[in-house]
Chains A and B, each alone.
Chain A
Amino acid sequence: MLFLRLFYEFFKTGLFAVGGGMATIPFLYNMADSTGWFTRIDVDNMIAVGESTPGPIGVNMATYVGYITGMNEGGLPFALLGAVVATLGLITPSIIVILIIASFLKSFRDNRYVESAFYGLRPASTGLIAAAGLSVAVTNLFYTESEAFNAVITKWSDIFDPAVVNWKGWALAAVLWVLTNKVKQTKKLHPIIFILGSAVVGIVLAM
């Protein structure tokens, strides 16, 4: 039964992929090999789709896999059901595990040891987010896939080469930083306004 299998495969992914949407990618490759629902090349397309639509990447990829798998099997109604089933499969383990942890936390919130654990945990969590943010920034502000970028590892004098540095990206980043931190009229604006504005700038400057 296709839908049970879809739910099961994504349940497994949700249960074992620890650490964010990108952690689901190896599971998708594995799913391609073991089920034959889609190919490894489809997975690369799914990553592109997940990145170029709103919503968390991991959720987008699950929805898309469910949709195309259903579509191949029985047309549009199957596709819609497949999208729902795959997404629910992915989020069910999270919901169960987090609900258990959350209810545990609620009863021990005021415990001295739990409190002091969070004292150490918070700066660590911020550090982890900062490290992830840094790697996102490096991939977006430098052309990390170019040969020139890899050559920089051996020849640091090329670090300002336009084939290496995304100068338009740096310029936009600098403007955005000033607008979100220093300009009184704009710094309280909703983040989505900056996101949409940047999309327009991206199109105009062909970023």
Chain B
Amino acid sequence: MNIYPDLFLTFAKVGVMTFGGGYAMLPILQREVVENKGWATEEELTDYFAIGQCTPGIIAVNTATFIGQKNKGVPGGIIATLGLVFPSLVIISMLAGVITQFSHLAWVNHAFGGIRVCVCILILNAITKLYKKSVIDIPTTLIFFLVFGLSAWLSCSPVWFVLAAAAAGIVLKNVGVKK
């Protein structure tokens, strides 16, 4: 298939299968974009999420733009992003008239009660995969647990963690190493 329709359709598929925020998209991206299409690696996904969390806009959109751009430049980034939002446009516009009643129906709430539990497990599995790729030695283990603990405990902006971790990476890899 031509790459542009492929980008659009793949991200439309990701959009329609995402239930929740950008994090819920992660397991679907691993399956569709990393495993099926090979458009990005697990490491790159981690990078995009790191950047997407501290740049403007919602994480799901930021990640789609990144992957599209990586594969097909500026038009690729735009087309992947439009693909991602397309199902929302169609579904919400079709349901809009009845949607507030819809979202208060008991069986809809029960279905989403089940879906949210499933999303937790899928995110857990996704994190396990990322952990294996990103936590590779003692310094990275320390960074992981420090950031995890501090950001679960304090409600401060992810920007600070990202900046501090990038600085730590530069220091750890370059100070005291003779090449």
Contact = CB atoms under 8 A, between A and B. Distances in A.
A51 B20 contact: yes
Nearest to A82: B93
Contacts of B121: 173, 176-177, 180, 194
A199 B50 contact: no
Interface of A is mostly: helix
A127 interface: yes
A56 B88 contact: yes
B108 interface: yes
Contacts of B117: 140-141, 169, 172-173, 176, 198, 202, 207
Interface in A148-207: 169, 172-173, 176-177, 180-181, 190-192, 194-195, 197-203, 205-207
Interface residues of B, number: 107
Interface in A113-135: 113, 115-135
Contacts of A119: 140, 169, 172-173
Nearest to B120: A137
A129 B57 contact: no
A180 B124 CA distance: 11
A201 B168 CA distance: 45
A59 B77 contact: no
A71 to B, nearest CB: 7
A99 interface: yes
Contact of B19 (A54, A120, A137): A54
A206 B110 contact: yes
B141 to A, nearest CB: 7
Contact of B104 (A48, A91, A99, A200): A48
A87 B85 contact: yes
Contacts of A133: 23, 120, 123-124, 127
A47 to B, nearest CB: 9
Contacts of B77: 95, 98-99, 102
Contact of B58 (A56, A79, A140, A197): A56
30 contacts: A14-B61, A15-B57, A19-B54, A20-B21, A20-B53, A52-B109, A53-B103, A54-B15, A54-B17, A79-B96, A97-B62, A99-B74, A116-B169, A117-B166, A117-B170, A118-B43, A118-B169, A125-B130, A126-B127, A128-B148, A129-B26, A131-B148, A135-B152, A136-B120, A137-B124, A141-B117, A172-B114, A173-B117, A195-B119, A199-B111
Interface of A: 14-24, 45, 48-49, 51-60, 63-64, 67-68, 71, 79-80, 83-84, 87, 90-91, 93-95, 97-99, 101-103, 106, 112-113, 115-137, 140-141, 169, 172-173, 176-177, 180-181, 190-192, 194-195, 197-203, 205-207
Q: Which 9 pairs across A and B sit closest by C-beta, in order of nearness?
A: A202-B114, A120-B169, A94-B57, A124-B165, A127-B147, A116-B173, A207-B113, A125-B50, A198-B118
